[in-house]
Structure 1
Amino acid sequence: MYDMSIKFQQPFAIELVRGFPNLETLVICLQLKEVDLGYIKGLENDGYLMKSLLAGSRFLKKMIVRFSLLGRDDREQLKFAKKLLTLHRASPTAETEIIEQ
């Protein structure tokens, strides 16, 4: 069982669950090495999730972001992808791969 009582993690977890109504499983680990996010639409909550993962995962080696092409403007996805690439990373070796689905 993961202790969500740490001051900065509790509000993040609550917003994460609220922002993803179809979430079935959530596993949180402070020593993430690889993250694979599927069907990302580039919404504000998607950005918060990625920002938190990059900033809080000092052992992260790779983050894969799979964009959902359904109903999204290419310009909006490009803007979101550029923003993602500028986010602070706790791990100096973390790579980000962006894939369109």
Structure 2
Amino acid sequence: MEITNSLIVHGGPYFPNLEELVLSLGDFEGGVEELVSGKLVCDSFSCVKSLTLTFVDFDSSDVLGFMYEIIWGFPNLQTLTIKALSSDSYDHEDPSLELCTLMEQLQLLNVVLENFEGLENELFFIKKLLACTPLLKKFTIRPDPTLLFPGGYEEKFKVAKKLLRFQRASAIADVDLDWS
């Protein structure tokens, strides 16, 4: 079903039993700013267990703020899939470091991050999720297949090493870095 931005932002009461939500942050005519400028009423979406966010721009503070709000706002969220938007520029800011001060525990069991580029904002987001998900079973990270990490294997090793150092709230969490 395709619905308008305002219905997404204020539509919780219309879908009280909605369990799966897919939001494309790059397909709106008014641009992502129109979607994220509205205040999402997450309490109205209390049944959402599965969330997929596509075209997530980790360089946009507006998108990151909206993403943090929605993820930490859904109390029963168990499965999260994020498909990042490939970055066109190499001049990256770190807006996520300022935006996410939330430390509330999440109920997530499974997370998938696709088109991972190793950006600082992506690494910070992963670190935050791992620290706030005591029930997490699997976190799958799939790098952008078209991306050639500078330095090849050495750069891949550095990224993997950073990921291994992140503290995890879950003793059973499996972090799968899928380079294939």
Q: TM-score scaled to structure 1, two decimals?
A: 0.72
1:43 aligns with 2:82: no
Note if 1:52 corresponds to 2:91.
no
Structure 2, gaps ≥5 residues long: 1-40, 44-55, 72-76, 78-105
| Structure number with higher relative contact order (C-alpha < 8 Å, ≥ 6 residues apart) | 1
The equivalent residue for 2:158 is: 79
1:99 shift after superposition:
0.8
What letter is aligned with 2:148? G
- Deviant stretches of 4+, over 4 Å: none
1:19 to 2:58 alignment = yes
> Could you report, residue by residue, the CA deviation over 1:30-64 in whole angstroms, capped at 9, with x for unpaired residues?
21000000010111011101000000011100000
SS for the counterpart of 2:178 is strand
Secondary structure of 1:66's match?
A: strand
Unaligned residue ranges in structure 1 (runs of 5+):
4-16
Question: How many angstroms does 1:18 deviate by?
Answer: 7.2
The residue identity in structure 2 corresponding to 1:84 is: L
| Cα distance, 1:78 vs structure 2 | 1.6
1:100–1:18 distance in 2 versus 1, CA, 3 Å: closer
Q: Which residue type is aligned with residue 98 of structure 1?
A: L
Deviations along 1:4-36, one digit per CA (max 9) or x if unpaired, are: xxxxxxxxxxxxx87344x6x844142100000
After TM superposition, the score normalised by the length of structure 2 is 0.42
Mapped partners of 2:59, 2:135: distance in 1:
25
Tell me whether 1:93 sits opposite 2:172 in the alignment.
Answer: yes
